[in-house]
A and B are shown apart, each in its own frame.
Chain A
């Protein structure tokens, strides 16, 4: 990659969303905005080769895309009223000192950043389906191609293209506004933005197989967007909590699977290989968020992750505190999966029997039917209680419900390890792929 190609690639990562956002604000046309942004990056490759990389690539790209949009609107005879409106807006934009003043860096330019925030909230508008929100965010804000997003979510490209077309059409027909919602709607709508980023991160995080890089890059994109959000909404502790949670998880990336791509449990991970910089930044952000005194689900999850991250070993982890945090998280979210996690922490703090009792309550209520981690957790607790035949049966139930090959392989290994100590149970073993 040449110096210029590298500069354009970096500008694409850093500036794509802001360029598109500025163009959407000026033209109100999402497709035109994307096309003109694309165009500006193509021109940059050529222009920067001859004239050098501009000092502020983002401003150059926005101006180029803006001029391109103006050309396009001029050529379309139907766009006269629209053209007047856009020309006025652009003139105002050019005149505003914060946008063109040479003394200001566009990264810190509140006007441009506000566009990014507008775009984030508009992509995550609750009138759009969650699938559409995620797709729009990745396409428009993060600049992933339709093909990349389709591949990441394991759907055909035509399906993803259709999803984006429908979402943009609804945005136009229903007049979903391009703006940051007013204060009284902000908490609910911020929750929607955080939810989309969290879902995107988890899609990438769950894709543990090492060769599936497109899916893993989802986590990187989500982290980058969360970081942007914390800069744009510095007073929102849940945004800090979410970023902290992502960093603390990502810090363990290198140790989550072995060379064969198999899962390595937290207790077996080599803590010396956890990324110390990410851990330190994540833990610092958790503290910074909690000091605001407005705890929420992401902050509590990040606090749990920080407890793990700062413990010298699995045994020397403050399990009592983690069990308490899961209790708090369950209170905040009402999630039954959280209650299952609390059972694991209680088992570590007060012994496997205490944890098993919680899982039996969950099983009796039927709220986690079909979720493989319920029998998998029970199997592990039964094994530790010296009840291997019951453990083996639970591992089989879990394996039949597991969703990925990595998980099935892991459960098969655990099953073999408990079966080594018992008479074969004689049940038919599900093939499991």
Chain B
């Protein structure tokens, strides 16, 4: 069962971190990825640039409309994601709780809509 874990937090707080704090955060992610990699659960993941670097695209009447900024203004933004393969939701919850940002923000677990499933 595959799940996408969206790491949501306040990106202004992330931008305000000191170099020492950033280093510490990176070390925690290294630990997390090592553990989940060793358990064979990790299928992908990345940290994302902040929403100030985001571009939105819509097509209206065959015209490509390009915009700056995120899709919606929210208090928390998606700062990264992991794609994991877990036995069930309980295992996914356990993995999500170990993502370092679960302590500062929110992890949203979304089951992947596998195409052979109704």
Residues in A lying within 8 Å of B, measured CB to CB: 125, 127, 173-177, 179, 181, 185
Question: Is B21 engaged at the interface, CB distance under 8 Å to the other chain?
Answer: no
Q: A175-B111, A181-B90 are in contact. List 10 more A-B contacts (CB 8 A).
A: A127-B89, A127-B93, A173-B111, A173-B113, A174-B109, A176-B90, A177-B87, A177-B88, A177-B89, A179-B90
* B interface with A by C-beta (< 8 Å): 1, 86-90, 92-93, 109, 111, 113, 117
Question: In the complex the two chains form, what is the Cα distance from A173 to B1 in whole Å?
Answer: 9
Q: How would you classify the secondary structure of chain A's contact residues: helix, strand, loop or mixed?
A: loop
**Considering the chains assembled together, what is the distance between the CA atoms of A176 and B111 in angstroms?**
11
Asked if A185 and B90 make an inter-chain contact with CB atoms under 8 angstroms apart, the answer reads yes
Quote the shortest CB–CB distance from B96 to chain A (angstroms).
11
Q: How far is the CB of B2 from chain A (nearest CB, A)?
A: 10
In the assembled complex, the Cα of A235 lies from the Cα of B1 at a distance in Å of 34
Closest-by-CB residue of B relative to A173 is B111
Contacts of B89 in A (CB 8 A): 125, 127, 174-177
CB-based nearest A residue for B86: A175
Q: Please tell me if the beta carbons of A177 and B111 are within 8 angstroms of each other in the complex.
A: no
Query: Most chain-A Cβ atoms within 10 A of its Cβ — which of B89, B113, B117?
Result: B89
Q: Out of B88, B113, B117, which one reaches A176, CB within 8 Å?
A: B88
26 inter-chain pairs at a CB distance below 8 angstroms, sorted by A residue, are A125-B89, A127-B89, A127-B93, A173-B111, A173-B113, A173-B117, A174-B89, A174-B109, A174-B111, A175-B1, A175-B86, A175-B87, A175-B88, A175-B89, A175-B92, A175-B111, A176-B88, A176-B89, A176-B90, A177-B87, A177-B88, A177-B89, A177-B90, A179-B90, A181-B90, A185-B90
10 A-B pairs with least C-beta separation: A177-B88, A175-B1, A175-B88, A174-B111, A176-B89, A174-B89, A175-B89, A173-B111, A177-B90, A127-B89
Chain B residues closer than 8 Å to A127, beta-carbon distance: 89, 93
Chain A neighbourhood of B117, CB < 8 A: 173
